[in-house]
A and B are shown apart, each in its own frame.
Chain A
Amino acid sequence: MPEITYVGVDGTRRRIDVPAGTSVMRGAVFNDIDGIVAQCAGNAQCATCHVYVDDTTVDRLEPARPDEDDLLDFTACPRRPTSRLSCRLTVTAALDGLIVHVPERQK
């Protein structure tokens, strides 16, 4: 199972096995990772599952599609080049080892 590492605001790292086909957002919500709110439950409607992908693993991802790109302009913490919405990151074998940082706040 692909392993995703979630880094909390305080630097705590948690490595979670997340089933392929689900999302990085769902991996967080189902494992009590603090700071990923996902108010719309993963329907790309709210920009409250924002993550900063670690520079070392960002090349594993396909670029954001236009709807995600638009929503990223409305995150509570500043958008950076590695900003993504975790509900749009579908977990696949190619994402194994992905590291994401949780921003300070989502709302």
Chain B
Amino acid sequence: MTGDAQPPSVVIVGAGQGGYETAASLREHGYRGRVTLISAEDALPYERPPLSKACLKGDGAAPGDEQLWLRPPTYYARQSIDLVGGTVTAVDPAARTVRLRDGTAYDYGHLVLATGARPRPLDVPGAALRGVHTLRTARDAAALRASLAAAQYAVVVGAGFLGLECAAAARESGRAVTVVEALDRPLARAVSARTAEHFTRLHRGEGTRLLFGQQVVALRGDWHGKVTAVELADGRRLPADLVVIGVGVTPRTELAAAAGLPVGDGVTVDARLLTGDPHISAIGDCAAFPQVRSGKRLRLESVQNAVGHARLVAKRLTGASRAHYQELPWFWSDQFATTVQIAGHDDGHDTEMVLGDDPDAFSVLLFRGEGLRAVESVNRPGDHMAARRLLDGGGRLKPGEAAAPGFTLKGHLARLRDGPAPARRGVS
């Protein structure tokens, strides 16, 4: 921004956590240009983590409740953020405009694609029956909550975080719950075997039936088009009046692809989160960004990642920073009374070490060679916070040190702090 010239207009497509944070962060950094936040949902920007947890239970905040709003309606007016409802159908990079389905067009100086992801559908007969749900938006959560209130037998397809969170909420609401997973354990792509085993035991202990190594081949319904059963490859039929599909998501890349931008598993961006066009950034769940250390491209689905991306882009657009994106990833999930928190990104480990003797409260340290790569904490929030600081400072911890009697992450961190200061990796 130079002189008195009006700074260029920023248009943000998608008002999830990343889109909202881009707008808020631009204003926080003093951006004076026009900011337009376009939402395909008829709702104020809201928190998503509760949608698969408290919101599904009758006693939790209902989806769409103002309790879930990130900010009150007055905030957007006060900050001069134009919140626009509508679906963007085209981006014209040459003219620098986006066009909505209703024909309205917006000019941009910079465009931020925060389009997120959509649930991957289950490709079997019967997937469109009534009572079959996916979960992404507040509207999805409201429909699922209503179905759950009337259901007896819930079947969850997919034992990832979303599936397990829904299964826990359904079980806590008193339903008979079965989880069907194609792989041989839950959270197979997300956590270590030790942590996965804990979640297996937790859900079984709460009375949920977990079926691993099982393929769903069809969903069956009644004359009214309502789901009644889930059919497995081995011929078994599980009675079901509610089915939740939690088999992953697909990044929303259509707009970027149609605009001629490079797209792979997500919109391809560089370390500053720019697409192939210097006037277009992509952030959050829809963006595939290079990891600083390995250069390998990564797409993360988490609030932390969306917010971190948003802040980096806002700083770049206001001239506050030209840094590469290198925030430490972290993530959490709540199921029953258990919280699992993950710090770092495990892209292959060769050593696992467990801290803590309590089977219901422990941390798993994942090492690759002599370096700490990630820490999974089950009901050990202090370990998680210490792990975040430690990994953010370069993860200086060797397996041999962690094996010493009486070792704690907090103690190790304090020793490092009292020694020579570790180099900070964070951007903020």
CB distance from B121 to the nearest CB of A (A): 29
Chain B neighbourhood of A39, CB < 8 A: 307
Determine whether A29 belongs to the interface, using a CB cutoff of 8 Å to chain B: yes
**Which of B47, B339, B381: most chain A CB closer than 10 A?**
B381
Chain A neighbourhood of B47, CB < 8 A: 41-42
Contact of B341 (CB < 8 Å), options: A29, A45, A73: A45
Q: Does the CB pair B49–A43 fall under 8 Å?
A: yes
Q: Does the CB pair B72–A30 fall under 8 Å?
A: yes
Leading 7 A-B pairs by shortest Cβ distance: A70-B382, A74-B385, A70-B381, A67-B381, A41-B47, A30-B72, A45-B332
Q: Does the CB pair B70–A47 fall under 8 Å?
A: no
Interface residues on B, range: 20 to 34
Q: Does the CB pair B385–A47 fall under 8 Å?
A: yes
Interface residues on A, range: 10 to 19
Determine whether B250 belongs to the interface, using a CB cutoff of 8 Å to chain A: no
Chain B binding surface, main DSSP class = helix
The distance in angstroms between the C-alpha atoms of A29 and B341, with both chains bound, is 25
Binding site for B on A (CB under 8 A): 22, 26, 29-30, 32, 39-45, 47, 67, 70-71, 73-74, 107
The distance in angstroms between the C-alpha atoms of A42 and B47, with both chains bound, is 10
Could you list 20 A-B pairs, sorted by A, with CB under 8 Å? A30-B72, A32-B75, A39-B307, A41-B49, A41-B70, A41-B303, A43-B49, A45-B330, A45-B341, A47-B385, A67-B381, A70-B381, A71-B381, A71-B382, A71-B385, A73-B382, A73-B410, A74-B382, A74-B385, A74-B386
Chain A neighbourhood of B339, CB < 8 A: 67
Closest A residue to B47 by beta carbon equals: A41
CB distance from B345 to the nearest CB of A (A): 17
Q: Please provide the chain B residues from 7 to 41 with a CB less than 8 Å away from any CB of chain A in the complex.
A: none
Closest A residue to B341 by beta carbon equals: A45
Chain B neighbourhood of A32, CB < 8 A: 75, 78
Chain A neighbourhood of B428, CB < 8 A: 107
Q: Please provide the chain B residues from 299 to 336 with a CB less than 8 Å away from any CB of chain A in the complex.
A: 303, 307, 330, 332
